[in-house]
Amino acid sequence: MNIINFENLDSTNLWSKSNIEKIPDKSVVLTNIQTSGYGRFKRPWLNFGEGNLFVSFVLKPSEEKKEHASLTQYTAICISKVFDELGIKHTIKWPNDVLINGKKVCGILTEATYFGGKIEGLVIGIGMNLVGTKEQLKFVKSPATSLALEGFNVERDDILEKIYNEFFKNYDSILNLGFSFIKYDYKRKSHYKFGDKITFSKDLGKKENGIFRGFDDSGALIFENKNSEIEILNCGEIV
């Protein structure tokens, strides 16, 4: 594993995107402290300091493929497998939050960079609360937890190595098969089960109540709205 290590960085995703041309394929950009981390919808990813995981995997695919869209959910599945191996009970909240006891412990953000209309790189950022305390987690808007708070003492570098190995074990399969490669595992680990009542917010817009009807073959969420119509949702979130 080629690690580019920092003591302090604004954001591993930002740094990776700005330096993409000099980063080799399958490198890992890691920082002890991350001062301006961000997640989906440009929400801040808070810095709970050393001991937590702030990392980006950098991929340099030769061409753009529709299967790349499944890499974030694939990463969630890789983390899920590592959690299983460590005996950590968890669920996955569509599309890519890993939860313990319903509280978020890990978030994933994939971004792409382009040069001359062609894909230059993909950056998969992973933030995991390993040692965040109750006082620190109070600053997160939605319910959040850390592995330490849930009773698991996990070394950052150990879990990173496990996630990295898991990720590259089946990397070719996910690129060839897309979401269908992980659909079974993803459904099994889903925080929401078929028929659950959910509230959905599209692009941070107004909230709608409806019913969770599973995932389609591309990993999109199937939502039955209040008029009993089926909607296939690619972005937004369950609130």
CA angle 164/40/208 to nearest 5° reads 125
d(CA 169, CA 159): 15
Name the pairing type of β-strands 27-34 and 3-9: parallel
The site that binds ligand BTN (CB under 6 A) totals a number of residues, namely: 19
Q: Is 145 in the site for ligand BTN (CB under 6 A)?
A: no
DSSP state of 36: S
Whether 123 and 16 have beta carbons less than 8 Å apart is answered as: yes
For residue 43, what are the contacts with CB-CB under 8 A and spacing of at least 6?
none
d(CA 202, CA 200): 6
Q: Is 236 in the site for ligand BTN (CB under 6 A)?
A: no
Q: Is 37 in the site for ligand BTN (CB under 6 A)?
A: yes
d(CA 40, CA 28): 20
- Least Å from the CB of residue 227 to ligand BTN: 30
Q: Is 210 in the site for ligand BTN (CB under 6 A)?
A: no
Whether 36 and 43 have beta carbons less than 8 Å apart is answered as: no
Q: Which is nearer to ligand BTN, 54 or 215 (CB)?
A: 54
Give me the 101-140 binding string for ligand BTN, x by CB under 6 A, dash otherwise: ------xxx---------------xxx-------------
Q: Which is nearer to ligand BTN, 1 or 230 (CB)?
A: 1
Q: Is 219 in the site for ligand BTN (CB under 6 A)?
A: no
Q: Burial, 157: exposed, middle or buried (Cβ in 10 Å; 0-12, 13-18, 19+)? A: exposed
Q: Which stretch binds ligand BTN (CB under 6 A): 40-48, 171-179, 221-229, 230-238?
A: 40-48
Among 4, 28, 40, 164, binds ligand BTN (CB under 6 A): 40
Q: Which is nearer to ligand BTN, 142 or 176 (CB)?
A: 142
Residues at the site binding ligand BTN, with contacts judged by CB under 6 A: 11-13, 37-40, 43, 45, 54-56, 97, 107-109, 125-127
